[in-house]
Amino acid sequence: MNTLTGKHILLGVAGGIAAYKSAELVRQLRAQGARVRVVMTAGAQEFITPLTLQALSGNPVHSELLDRDAEAAMGHIELARWADALLVAPATADFIARLQQGRADDLLTAVALACDAPVAVAPAMNRAMWENPATQANITALKARSIHVFGPAPGKQACGEVGPGRLLEPEQLVTALTGLFETGALSGYRVLVTAGPTREAIDPVRYISNHSSGRMGYAVARAASEAGAEVVLVSGPVSLDTPERVTRIDVISADDMQHAVQERVADCDIFIAVAAVADYRPGQVAANKLKKSADQMTLVLARNPDILAGVAALPDAPFTVGFAAETDAIEDNARAKRVAKSVDMIAANRVGKGAGFDTPDNALQVYWQGGEQVLPLTDKAKLARQLVALIAQRFHDKHNKVIRFNAKDSA
Ligand code: PMT
């Protein structure tokens, strides 16, 4: 497994001679474990056939903006939502100009406009076209809008000239694309994440639990690791693979989870509590399987420790992020929970009726003192990356304030 494993890469191909390299690029992306879909401009299809890219990507190639079949399945909005990243390679001078203008008159520009995932262009064109002030102004404007520009490389060009304008080689593009996910926003920091449900034993064969699948917590752990953090994941019982470079500690009950967290919390800078910890456990665990006899049975429950509140109350508490699983009054309940547990940030999600628990998608409303942000419905992997980027921002803001405060104090 590597960073691109399982990532949804939308490859845009514009009409230039370097379009032939997109075939090898698709092959290499898939070899890295990425899922690839291709959008071609009309011009691109003059240089390479959709069939080639369809065969290599394993998915139909998209090219029409107004396509009845595509609208029913993968129209421009669905494609934009599907993408974890959009890379346009090659990006011609014309495509770059149209992207800069915010046009949406063909499928590729429309997808780019609708895409809230990272967007990158890999320019490929004649040297003079690249150096032309019009293209350079367009590139500057794209960079100012956080669009990434990979290349171009200098060298001998298809037109016979020598200079900048060559498309980067496929392996260089794969590396650059990997860098979009490995942001470095948490490089050098240690993150402790809890995920999944807990199980509270009733007797040797029965327990109380909930529907948490661990997907959200595992996605957060993976996103934090990709952001450069050293990540420890304390996980309740789930059937998920451990994300790359993440240290996983398996636990069963809330009590186990609390111990695992307490043992490691002194070594972390950020604590993110995604686990759905059971609030109560049976007061007594029966030594033997309970027999059915009476028509009714009463279980006496005891309160479990609040792991998150315990961490936030530590004298040297890390930056703490809680989740709030709510069925109603989401904002009010989440804000109240943040204050009651004294945490830096809280990410609230609606749960129940097919939302939140055990679903591939989720949406979050994130609150902190003096701020909030909505992260709209998307798949949990993408959502986790957005959340981790936000956590990194807030964490660094708080960190810098503390450093400034201490510096003032000692002056
Ligand atoms: O695992 P998935 O299927 O992907 O589902 C994801 C999720 C819905 C479980 C996740 O997004 C989520 O909402 N997790 C928090 C669930 C929860 O327990 O919420 P809560 O509102 O009851 O708890 C608030 C916070 O306190 C949470 O950060 C929780 O981890 C923490 N807590 C709660 C109780 C307790 N005894 N100890 C805690 O640390």
Q: pLDDT tens across 293-313, in order?
A: 889 999 999 999 999 999 999
Choose among 101, 95, 81, 77: nearest CA to 41: 95
- Check pLDDT > 80 for residue 402: no
Please give the pLDDT value at position 285.
96
How far does the centroid of ligand 1 lie from the alpha carbon of residue 347, in Å? 10
Please give the pLDDT value at position 376.
92
- Check pLDDT > 80 for residue 170: yes
Of the residues 31, 159, 314, 339, only one is catalytic, namely 159
- pLDDT above 90 covers a percentage of the chain that reads 88
How far does the centroid of ligand 1 lie from the alpha carbon of residue 273, in Å? 7
Residue 235 sits at the vertex; the CA angle it makes with 346 and 371, to the nearest 5 degrees, is: 10
Phi, psi torsion values for 237, nearest 5 degrees: -70, 115
Mean pLDDT of 16-32: 97
Mean pLDDT of 8-37: 97
How far does the centroid of ligand 1 lie from the alpha carbon of residue 212, in Å? 9
Give the number of the atom of ligand 1 that is nearest the alpha carbon of residue 356.
Answer: 8
How far does the centroid of ligand 1 lie from the alpha carbon of residue 140, in Å? 43
Span 321-374, pLDDT tens digits: 999 999 999 999 999 999 999 999 999 999 988 899 999 999 999 999 999 999
Mean pLDDT of 272-301: 95
Match 């909505």 to its residue by tokens: 374
Identify which of 200, 209, 210, 212 to mutate to test ligand 1's pocket (most ligand atoms within 8 A of the CB): 212
- Check pLDDT > 90 for residue 410: no
Match 């398996």 to its residue by tokens: 250
Q: Predicted confidence band at 73 (pLDDT cuts at 50, 70, 90)?
A: low
Quote the pTM value. 0.90
- Check pLDDT > 70 for residue 70: no
Under DSSP, the state recorded for 356 is: S
The continuous run of DSSP H or E covering 100 comes out as helix 93-101
Please give the pLDDT value at position 409.
67
Q: Which two tokens stand for residue 60?
A: 């139909």
Choose among 262, 282, 269: nearest CA to 207: 282
From first CA to last CA, the distance across the chain in angstroms is 49
Strand 246-250 versus strand 206-208 pairing type: unpaired
State the Cα–Cα distance between residues 394 and 8, nearest whole angstrom.
27
Distant-in-sequence, close-in-space partners of 21: CB < 8 Å, separation ≥ 6? 89, 90, 167, 169, 170
Please give the pLDDT value at position 53.
98
Q: Which two tokens stand for residue 171?
A: 């392996």
How far does the centroid of ligand 1 lie from the alpha carbon of residue 318, in Å? 18
State the Cα–Cα distance between residues 149 and 167, nearest whole angstrom.
11
**Which residue intervals of 233-363 are DSSP H helices?**
254-264, 307-312, 330-341
State the Cα–Cα distance between residues 123 and 168, nearest whole angstrom.
8
Span 184-224, pLDDT tens digits: 999 999 999 999 999 999 999 999 999 999 999 999 999 99
Nearest CA to ligand 1 atom 24: 324
Give the number of the atom of ligand 1 that is nearest the alpha carbon of residue 308.
Answer: 39
Mean pLDDT of 168-174: 98
Please give the pLDDT value at position 322.
98
- Check pLDDT > 80 for residue 406: no
Pocket of ligand 1 (CB under 6 A): 194, 212-217, 254, 273-277, 279, 304, 306-308, 322-325, 337, 349, 351, 356-358
Please give the pLDDT value at position 193.
98
Mean pLDDT of 128-136: 97
Span 26-39, pLDDT tens digits: 999 999 999 999 99
Which residues pair with residue 326 across a beta bridge? 350
Q: Predicted confidence band at 65 (pLDDT cuts at 50, 70, 90)?
A: confident
Under DSSP, the state recorded for 167 is: P
Identify which of 259, 262, 277, 387 to mutate to test ligand 1's pocket (most ligand atoms within 8 A of the CB): 277
Question: Is residue 268 flagged as an active site residue?
Answer: no
Mean pLDDT of all residues belonging to the chain: 95
Match 């399945």 to its residue by tokens: 73
Radius of gyration (Cα) for the chain, nearest Å? 25
Distant-in-sequence, close-in-space partners of 411: CB < 8 Å, separation ≥ 6? none
Q: Which two tokens stand for residue 277?
A: 């910890």
Please give the pLDDT value at position 400.
83
CB 8 within 8 A of CB 86: no
Full set of structural domains in the chain with CATH: 8-181 (3.40.50.1950), 190-410 (3.40.50.10300)
